[in-house]
Amino acid sequence: MTPKQRMLAAYRGEAADTVPVAPEFWYYVPAKLLGVDMIAFEREVPLWEALLRTFRHYGTEGWACVGAGPPHPDVTGTGEWMDLGEGRFEARTTWETPDGALTMRQHYSREEPSWAVERPIKVFERDWPAYRHYCFGVVEDTDWSGCRHALEAVGEEYLLEVMVGVQFTDFIANPREGGLAQGVYDLLEHEPFFEALHEEYLDYLRRLTRAACESTTAESLFIGCSWSCLSLISPALWRRWDKPVVQAVAEEAHAHGRLVHLHFHGRCRDVLPELADSGMDCICPFERPPGGDIADVAEVRDALADRVTMNGNVHTVETLIRGTPADVRREVEDIFEHWRPDLRRLILGTGDQVGRETPDENIAAMIDAGRELGKAIR
C-alpha cells in the first residue's frame, strides 16, 4: 500500500498492510531539513511541499493541509515589511472594508514561527462589523487551483487534506485583541450577537465544505484547533459553540463521500463521548500529561470504539526530546499494547509537532518500533 492508502484505510477503519506511522512534522523539523530559517520557511516554502520532502526523507506516512480563501470583492489590503533589527521583522497589514478599516501586525523571527502582536478586532462594536465583512467571502468564486495543484503533486506520498476552517472559539478569539481571554468575555457579554454569528459561520462552513468536495479531489477535509480545547475552555463552552461546527462539517463532507480529520490539542477526556459521536473519522493528537490528559490510550480506544481513528500519542518533549531510543520504544510498545487486539483505528503519531531539538535517533526509534509492531493489524 502507499502511504496515503494506509492513512485512508485507518480513517475508514479498514485493515492495512501496517499501522501508519505519522509523526507531526510541521515547522521545526522541515525547516531544519531544508536548511532555511523560519522566516524563509513561512514566507517562501509551501508547507505541503516542505512536508512532502520531510515524509520522503524519513520514510513515513503523514498528513498536512492546504486551503483556499474565498475572495472578498469589496475588501482591499495593503502591507508593509519592516526590519526591526537583530533578526526580527514586522509585517503590518491594513484591510479596508465597507464597514471600516482593520489593522494587524505580525512579528517574524529567524528562530521561531511568527506571532501576532496586534490583532484586528480592538473595539468590539466598531471592529466586528468590518471583520465579519472580511471573513465571509464569496464561496462560489473560490479559486481552488492551488489546492488541486498541491493534491496532484503530493499524489500517494502522504495524505494531503483541504482545510475548511477552525472551531468557533478559535474563529472569534484569533482576531481579537486580548486573544482567548477577551474572546470568552465577549461571548458572555454579547451572546445574541454570537448566536447569530454562529449560525452564519455554520452555514458558511457547510458551503465551503461543499465547494471543497465539488472542486477538488481531496479525500479528507481538516478542521484546525488552537484554543478550542479543554485546556483553555470549559466542556460546556466547547459543547455549545464548537461541537456544532465539527458536526456540520462532518455531515456535509460525508454527504459527498469525504472523510474529516479534527485537530484537538490539550485536554479532552471530559468530552471523549462527544468526540466519539461527532462524526469525525480521525482525531489527533490525544496528548499525554502535562500538555494533555491522556495517560492511558485504552481509555481513548474504548470511547472511540470502531467509530473514530486515533492519531497519537507519543510525547514530543519527555519522550522524543528528553528520552532515549529505549524510552521511545517503550512508549510505542505501550500504545500498541493498550490498543490491541484490533489496530485498524490506530495511527502512531505524536502529541504535538516534533521539536527542532529532537534527536534523529529518537525519531528513527519511533518509526522502527511502529513498523515492527504495526504489521499485525487484526
- The residue whose grid cell reads 525519531 is 363
Confidence band of 148 (pLDDT split at 50, 70, 90):
very high
Q: Looking at residue 41, what is its pLDDT?
A: 95
- Distance, in Å, from the CA atom of 7 to the CA atom of 33, rounded to the nearest integer, reads 24
Closest CA to 150 of 48, 2, 258: 48
Dihedral angle computed from the Cα positions of residues 45, 164, 250 and 175, in that order, rounded to the nearest 10 degrees: 110
- Distance, in Å, from the CA atom of 315 to the CA atom of 45, rounded to the nearest integer, reads 27
Q: Looking at residue 376, what is its pLDDT?
A: 66
- Distance, in Å, from the CA atom of 117 to the CA atom of 100, rounded to the nearest integer, reads 21
Confidence band of 367 (pLDDT split at 50, 70, 90):
very high
C-alpha distances out from residue 58 to 53, 86, 254, 275, Å:
9, 33, 32, 31
Using a 10 angstrom Cβ sphere, with 0-12 exposed, 13-18 middle and 19 or more buried, the burial of residue 323 is buried
Give one word for 117, left, alpha or beta, with left for phi > 0 and alpha for psi -120 to 50.
Answer: alpha
Dihedral angle computed from the Cα positions of residues 71, 74, 75 and 77, in that order, rounded to the nearest 10 degrees: 100
> What is the arithmetic mean of pLDDT over 332-343?
93
- Distance, in Å, from the CA atom of 210 to the CA atom of 249, rounded to the nearest integer, reads 9
Q: What is the pLDDT of residues 266-296, one digit of tens each?
A: 999 999 999 999 999 999 999 999 999 999 9
Q: Is the pLDDT of residue 252 over 90?
A: yes
Question: For the whole model, what pTM was predicted?
Answer: 0.95
* Edge-to-edge strand list for the sheet holding 88-97: 76-85, 88-97, 100-109, 115-118
Tally Cβ neighbours within 10 Å of residue 35.
8
C-alpha distances out from residue 284 to 70, 72, 326, Å:
27, 32, 24
- Distance, in Å, from the CA atom of 37 to the CA atom of 76, rounded to the nearest integer, reads 30
Confidence band of 340 (pLDDT split at 50, 70, 90):
confident
What are the residues whose beta carbons fall under 8 Å from the beta carbon of 124, sequence distance 6 or more? 186, 190
Q: What is the pLDDT of residues 221-231, one digit of tens each?
A: 999 998 999 99
Confidence band of 341 (pLDDT split at 50, 70, 90):
confident
Domains of the chain: 3-71+137-373 (3.20.20.210), 75-120 (no CATH)
Confidence band of 377 (pLDDT split at 50, 70, 90):
low
Residue type, 241: W
Q: What is the pLDDT of residues 173-231, one digit of tens each?
A: 999 999 999 999 999 999 999 999 999 999 999 999 999 999 999 999 999 998 999 99
Using a 10 angstrom Cβ sphere, with 0-12 exposed, 13-18 middle and 19 or more buried, the burial of residue 69 is exposed
Grid coordinates in use for 286? 490525544
DSSP state of 275: H
Q: Looking at residue 21, what is its pLDDT?
A: 98
Q: Is the pLDDT of residue 378 over 90?
A: no
Grid coordinates in use for 347? 495511527
Grid coordinates in use for 122? 480592538
Min mean pLDDT across 55-59, 89-93, 168-172, 350-354 is at 350-354
Q: Is the pLDDT of residue 75 over 80?
A: yes
- The residue whose grid cell reads 465544505 is 209
